[in-house]
Amino acid sequence: MPTLTWQKSSYCPEGNSCVHVAGDPAARAVRITESGDPRGAILTAAPAAFRSLLRTLKKEQDRD
């Protein structure tokens, strides 16, 4: 796997475990990991699936 540039979620408060994402152009994928163990489990999603996840999460947030 190439070196990825991880970006922390903008919804992450300081000091808490956060979701980090990185684009992986070589694999045409989005990588997702948890900041508490960034070298641990890394989930891989197709860009369309990741967009769908974000859209769903935003809809859920608007309902609250």
pLDDT in tens, 19-50: 889 999 999 999 998 877 766 788 999 999 99
* 2 falls within a domain: no
Residue 1 has pLDDT above 60, yes or no: no
* 1 falls within a domain: no
By residue range, what is the domain housing residue 16?
7-63
Total of domains in the chain: 1
* 21 falls within a domain: yes
* 58 falls within a domain: yes
Beta strand spans in the chain (E) = 7-8, 19-24, 29-34, 43-45
CA torsion sign for 5, 41, 57, 12 is: negative
* 40 falls within a domain: yes
